[in-house]
Homo-oligomer: A and B are copies of this chain.
Amino acid sequence: MTQLFYLADLFGVAVFAITGALMAGRKSMDLFGVLVIAVITALGGGTLRDLILDNHPVSWIRDDTYIAVATLTAVGTVLWVRLTRPIHETGLLIADAFGLAVFTVIGTEVAMQHGVPLSTAVIMGVMTGVAGGVMRDVICNEIPLIFKKEIYATACIAGALVFIALRLLETPHWLDTGIAMATVLGIRLAAIRWHFSLPRFHLLDRD
């Protein structure tokens, strides 16, 4: 089970690294820029969570598999695109939803292990899931997409709440994890399929 979770975590890292590399390509960065943006997208959320929770050593400091997976995936993405294979957009969105589900559950669990208030654990789960993408967009000089597009972070919030509820009910760990991940995945995939989105807050600029 732990082994399976570790593999899912690395899969999440790889998927997020792909989205980072593609964004860097849209900004015509050089190869180093592609690697940095890929690594930040993949590991930024977990790093911020660990710094705020004082959870040292940070995962990728201890185990360099994380960096290796992110780097190799970024290089692979560049080669794939250069060979003019198109990116399968839908496949990427589904993979991204899976990565989001894994990261959210991991983030919520790590926070609970630190005995923080439950509302804080929800925030840590969401942060782990989305902060890497926010950093990617900020560095690439874009307003973060997740604040505008279809239900995204809301799926994380729901997944974190489900996970916490099941933990409190003391259901088996594999069941908590599975149901919480399915919640994130299900909401996110439904939002992509039917273009659900939250209401926007428009404020005219009167400056």
Residues of A within 8 A of B (CB): 21-22, 24-34, 36-37, 47, 51-54, 56-58, 60-64, 67-68, 78, 81-82, 116-117, 119-120, 123, 134, 138-144, 146-148, 152-154, 197-203, 205
In the complex, the count of this chain's copies comes to 3
Q: Determine whether the beta carbon of B25 is less than 8 Å from that of A147.
A: no
**Which of these, B26, B34, B144, contacts A205 with CB under 8 Å?**
B26
Q: List 8 A-B contacts (CB under 8 A).
A: A25-B203, A30-B200, A32-B146, A53-B61, A54-B54, A54-B57, A82-B201, A140-B143
Q: Which residues of B contact A36 (CB under 8 A)?
A: 147, 153
Q: Which residues of B contact A200 (CB under 8 A)?
A: 28-31
Q: Determine whether the beta carbon of B61 is less than 8 Å from that of A28.
A: no
7 shortest A-B CB distances, which residue pairs?
A33-B147, A25-B203, A30-B198, A54-B56, A29-B147, A64-B117, A25-B201
Q: Chain A at the B interface: mostly helix, strand, loop or mixed?
A: helix
Docked pose: A116 CA to B119 CA in angstroms: 33
Docked pose: A138 CA to B200 CA in angstroms: 20
Q: Determine whether the beta carbon of B58 is less than 8 Å from that of A203.
A: no
Q: Determine whether the beta carbon of A34 is less than 8 Å from that of B141.
A: no
Docked pose: A33 CA to B139 CA in angstroms: 18
Docked pose: A1 CA to B29 CA in angstroms: 39
Q: Which residues of B contact A25 (CB under 8 A)?
A: 201-203
**Which of these, B30, B58, B144, B203, contacts A139 with CB under 8 Å?**
B144
Q: Which residues of B contact A47 (CB under 8 A)?
A: 52
Q: Determine whether the beta carbon of B139 is less than 8 Å from that of A28.
A: no
